[in-house]
Amino acid sequence: MPQNKPIPFLDFAAMHAELRPELDAAFQRVLDSNYLILGSEVEQFENEFAAYCDASHAIGVGNGLDALFLILKAMDIGPGDEVIVPSNTYIATWLAVSYAGATPVPVEPDSATYNIDPARIEAAITPRTRAIMPVHLYGQPADMDAIMEIAARHKLKVIEDAAQAHGARYRGRRVGALGDAAGFSFYPGKNLGALGDGGAIVTNDAVLAARLRILRNYGSSVKYHNDVKGYNSRLDELQAAFLRAKLKGLDLGNERRRAVAARLTEGLSGSDLVLPFVPDWAEPVWHLFVVRTLAREALQAQLGERGIGSMIHYPIAPHRQGAYAEMGLAEGALPIAEAIHREVLSLPIWPQLQAEQVERVIQVCLEAAAAGPRA
């Protein structure tokens, strides 16, 4: 491979090339079926994804945000209620709570794992708290046993935001079936990504699953009979067919990501970059490989000059976004999250990344570190 050939942050063409026959077959199958909404492809994918997550039920919905929002609605969590969320996350976690009419209450992360710190949760619980919504950020599980123990003592629901963690394990168990329900995203860049948007809810609660199936489809279980005020949020047949094809290779793709992450960790271990920390109870799927540095802009610029893609996940903490200005949380209110958002940079990591490409990423990062921050 030529040394000057760009390395994209994510290469969809390479990711899909291996599966092109299966994806073409999936498209043709749906085209020939005459069913485009809530047909057999969705039903089969739901069964297959539930089994993959070691759960009883999966409900396909329009996207990951809808998945979290609909869980809250199905649990009757809304105005006057509070939901504990991580201060360090993508804003969709908070938006789901706001859409339901409830109030997001941020809790700071563990500074090593970047996931919500269970030791800080109880201080945020009030008589209005109804649920805890941990995020398995970057594909690494949150400390679910500690979170579940707190929730049990305070009689709270636990809703996993598993949008980035398809296939991750916590103490040997798949994420998604660890709490009361979980929301997944199938945004194209996810480890299990559609060729458009999509999402799913996973749960072991049959009553909750039945209610969710009604809520996602205009509040109807029988066509034109609307039992409740529902929503239009349905995983479509075509995306379900594509996801079925991709699900078969998810574990292999995750293993390839682990190999890339291991080499990046080894190769960058002598640098001044803060590398990801993985507890011994966690088996992440490396949706993102995130490093921290005070010289983030300089490192990203030097990577870009050498044709290497990178991204910032995420540049602004949710409480500092204009969308949540009404909370009145000034700079410094949540300092751990703010520091993370100022310093993180995501390096390329995808299953088809070649060994020589990984070495180039390592080489440029080391050279940038040796050169020091730019004036």
Tens digit of each residue's pLDDT (9 = 90 or more) over 113-148: 999 999 999 999 999 999 999 999 999 999 999 999
pLDDT band, residue 2 (cuts 50/70/90): low
As a whole number of angstroms, the distance between CA 319 and CA 94 comes to 9
As a whole number of angstroms, the distance between CA 291 and CA 297 comes to 13
Question: What is the Cα 130 distance to its own chain's centre?
Answer: 22
The pTM for the full model equals 0.96
Q: How far apart are the first and last CA of the chain?
A: 34
Cα distances (Å, whole numbers) of residue 141 to 165, 166, 168, 287, 303: 7, 10, 7, 11, 29
pLDDT value of position 370: 77
Q: Is the pLDDT of residue 3 over 70?
A: no
Place of tokens 């100022």: 342
Q: Are 299 and 345 in contact (CB under 8 A)?
A: yes
As a whole number of angstroms, the distance between CA 117 and CA 115 comes to 6
**DSSP secondary structure code for residue 137 in this structure:** G
Between CA 59 and CA 286, with CA 143 as vertex, the angle to 5 degrees is 70
Cα distances (Å, whole numbers) of residue 347 to 250, 289, 293, 366: 21, 6, 12, 13
